[in-house]
Amino acid sequence: MPAHFDLLKTDPATAARRGRLRTRHGVIETPVFMPVGTQGTVKAVTPAHLREMGAQIILGNTYHLNLRPGSELVRDLGGLHRFMGWDGPILTDSGGFQVFSLAKLRDIRDDGVAFQSHLDGAKHFLGPREVMQIQQNLGSDIAMVLDECPPWPCERDAVARAVTRSHRWAERCKQIATDSGFLAAGHHVFAIVQGSTFEDLRRDAATALAALDFPGYAVGGVSVGEPEPEMLKQVGATTPFMPADKPRYTMGLGTPPQLLKMIALGVDMFDCVLPTRVARNGLVFTPDGPMNLRNEQYRADPRPIVEGLDNYTCRTFSRAYLRHLTMAGEMLSGTLLTIHNLHFFLDLMAQARAHIEAGDYATWHRQWIERYEAGAAARLAS
């Protein structure tokens, strides 16, 4: 199988990496942020919006799409790309995290997880075979293995059992993907490293999974309630044991400063619901920290959210108008603020790629974070 990931440049003063990942639906320049389209849609925006703002890849979710509308229906209608009108790459989460966080009742077994739907209480089962079949039905460009995500805090013995079980499931997922022709057809399968806050368990898990030669690897089980320093510590404890010639993905986070800090730790791919979720409540991101447009100080502010940022929202509308829409509860507010927030994250990744290429990522990212955090503190104090 030809190489699918090129490591183009490594920052001389950090572990930041500039890479290129090839998929069935296009090439992805890394580091990359993936807008989250859990149920076949990135909330409040269309595929045309996503393309205009420069999204390279989006994320869907196995758990949600299999419960509603069903992966067989999506398959019969041409796969998830055609179903949602998105012709770029799609990564699908295996659904393991949703089972552990959303299911009303669940029974973790060696062959998978039996659970009740959070929608209607119906009984379901997800094991490696089911997870891989669902993602094959969806036509995922990047499929994630089934894993067990321990909560935080968690006893070491329970974490060790979860790591062992996740490894067995990963082996099984890769074998199924091989036997079914999924991998040979150019789809990718990423393994997930668990271990909670136990660095030796993360090291052992990453080393064992690396030996299985997956197309990519993810840091799982972070941002599940632990403090940010602990989260960053565990990311930093995991990435050195991931293969250098494969993409590295940290799942489900984070804030703009967190993304830049994790890039410096050697992470290539990210997803997070944060920019879309807070947009629906009037919060937008700027280089000087988050801005709450509900605040009275923006009622007559004629400026764009960010001067010079080239997205439809900033090119067209004032803070005053956007505040008006937000306060009036207009649906357009969610769309316009989501366009801005997603573009802000995507543009930040483009800047990161440029500075890794220039060799000054270490200095640039520290200065960027300092400005952002100082601005956030000033807004909080005002």
Catalytic residues: 93, 271
113 sits in which H/E element: strand 112-116
Report the C-alpha gap between 209 and 217 in whole angstroms.
8
Q: Are the CB atoms for 81 and 139 separated by under 8 Å?
A: yes
22 sits in which H/E element: strand 17-23
Could you tell me which of 213, 210, 214 has the C-alpha nearest to residue 145?
A: 214
Paired tokens of 353 = 């790629």
Q: Are the CB atoms for 61 and 94 separated by under 8 Å?
A: no
308 sits in which H/E element: none
Report the C-alpha gap between 77 and 67 in whole angstroms.
16
Q: Are the CB atoms for 49 and 336 separated by under 8 Å?
A: no
Surface-to-core class of residue 208, CB atoms within 10 Å of its CB (0-12 exposed, 13-18 middle, 19+ buried):
middle
Partnered with residue 271 across adjacent β-strands are: 34, 253
Could you tell me which of 353, 371, 312 has the C-alpha nearest to residue 33?
A: 353
**Region class of 289: left (phi > 0), else alpha (psi between -120 and 50), else beta:** left
Could you tell me which of 378, 377, 372 has the C-alpha nearest to residue 254?
A: 372
Partnered with residue 36 across adjacent β-strands are: 59
Report the C-alpha gap between 9 and 353 in whole angstroms.
10
